[in-house]
């Protein structure tokens, strides 16, 4: 009430007074022009929405069930790949691919629910002119970062060292950064699908098909795809993530024991050679960056078109 009296009542009173003194504006039948007036700045809207979002979603993001899911899968995968032998290259690249697909599915299906569930509140608050859509969207994106990146960090830390991957600290940090990048891209796809369809059931069905295509085209299950459909791997973020994980895990001249007293180059291993790691990895980073930005722009435009101004 005090906010209404302070911010809205004076302008409303002046508006009524102008109508009473100039009745022609009402008689003419032409609507008066309304100036787009906001009672708070963009940064203030962003700050308040960010604080509210962190308070609301922290319990959901760090719920007991979600923590149990991540910890149980990380420990189980660590036990299955327990201190894998470096000469068992197929096993180790299998663990790396599992990293990319698990943290492709998990954030995507969580992000799908974001906008459809908040839509009634968003329409109501936007219709009353509480804040701009851009401040809401920016607060949502920034607020998701700490909550979406903590659990993947714990997962990778447990599985990486239990799985016996490259013990180099630099390699571990690079692997972790790639995984966090992968999580953000996956989340962007979920946000875009949820914002476009605004129906959880439809978005979930479409996401399942999309992720299945990305999974099959990721480069682990099929190494030699027919030329007419090989383009699918270039739109699969799992493919780029998998390439980066393998690329940082094995150096150019690294070898493994491929026979009795015989050593071979790791990058000549069939499952790795088909990834064409000789090419620079900055192209893969650039592709993921385009996806990271592009999917979020699509989500914002979908919200913009579906919201009252």
Residue 228 in domain: yes
Residue 9 in domain: no
Q: Which two tokens stand for residue 31?
A: 């609507």
Residue 26 in domain: no
Residue 17 in domain: no
Residue 220 in domain: yes
Report the predicted TM-score, pTM, of the whole model to 2 decimal places. 0.82
Give the model's pLDDT for residue 302. 93
Give the model's pLDDT for residue 145. 87
Residue 7 in domain: no
Q: What residue numbers bound the domain in which 70 lies?
A: 39-306
| 110 vs 70: CA distance, rounded Å | 13
- Please, what is the Cα angle at 221 between 219 and 226, to 5 degrees? 70
How many Cβ atoms sit within 10 Å of the Cβ of residue 17? 10
Split into its structural domains, the chain has a count of: 1
Reported as type and span, the H/E element at residue 262 is strand 262-265
Written as tens digits, the pLDDT of the chain (309 aa) is 888 888 888 888 888 878 776 555 444 443 343 445 677 889 999 999 999 988 888 887 788 888 999 999 999 999 999 988 888 888 899 999 999 999 999 999 989 998 998 888 988 888 888 889 999 999 999 998 888 899 999 999 999 999 999 999 999 999 999 999 999 999 999 999 999 999 889 999 999 999 999 998 888 888 788 888 889 989 999 999 999 999 999 888 888 887 777 888 888 888 888 887 866 788 899 999 999 999 999 999 999 987 654
Residue 246 in domain: yes
Mark out the alpha helices in the chain (DSSP H runs): 2-3, 9-21, 24-27, 42-61, 64-80, 89-111, 114-127, 133-162, 169-197, 200-216, 237-249, 270-273, 282-306
| 108 vs 192: CA distance, rounded Å | 10
Give the model's pLDDT for residue 32. 40
Residue 209 in domain: yes
- Please, what is the Cα angle at 164 between 159 and 165, to 5 degrees? 85
| 123 vs 127: CA distance, rounded Å | 6
């Amino acid at each position: 009430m005090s906010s209404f009296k302070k911010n809205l009542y004076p302008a409303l009173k002046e508006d009524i007074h102008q109508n009473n003194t100039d009745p022609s504006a009402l008689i003419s039948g032409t609507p008066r022009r309304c100036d787009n007036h906001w009672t708070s700045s963009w940064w203030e809207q962003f700050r308040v929405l960010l604080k509210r979002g962190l308070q609301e979603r922290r319990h959901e993001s760090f719920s007991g069930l979600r923590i149990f899911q991540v910890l149980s899968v990380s420990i189980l995968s660590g036990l299955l790949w327990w201190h894998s032998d470096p000469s068992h290259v197929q096993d180790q690249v299998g663990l790396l691919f599992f990293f990319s697909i698990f943290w492709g599915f998990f954030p995507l299906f969580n992000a799908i629910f974001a906008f459809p569930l908040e839509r009634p509140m968003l329409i109501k608050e936007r219709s009353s002119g509480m804040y701009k859509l851009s401040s809401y969207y920016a607060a949502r994106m920034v607020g998701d970062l700490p909550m979406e990146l903590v659990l993947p960090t714990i997962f990778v830390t447990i599985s990486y060292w239990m799985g016996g991957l490259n013990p180099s600290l630099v390699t571990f940090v690079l692997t972790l950064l790639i995984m966090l990048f992968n999580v953000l891209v996956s989340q962007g796809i979920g946000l875009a699908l949820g914002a476009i369809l605004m129906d959880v059931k439809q978005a979930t069905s479409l996401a399942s098909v999309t992720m299945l295509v990305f999974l099959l085209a990721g480069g682990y299950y099929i190494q030699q795809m027919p030329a007419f459909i090989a383009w699918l791997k270039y739109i699969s973020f799992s493919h780029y993530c998998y390439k980066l994980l393998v690329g940082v895990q094995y150096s150019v001249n690294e070898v493994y024991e491929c026979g009795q007293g015989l050593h071979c180059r790791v990058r000549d291993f069939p499952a790795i050679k088909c990834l064409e790691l000789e090419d620079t990895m900055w192209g893969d980073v650039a592709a993921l960056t385009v996806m990271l930005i592009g999917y979020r722009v699509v989500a914002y435009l979908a919200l913009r078109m579906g919201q009252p101004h």
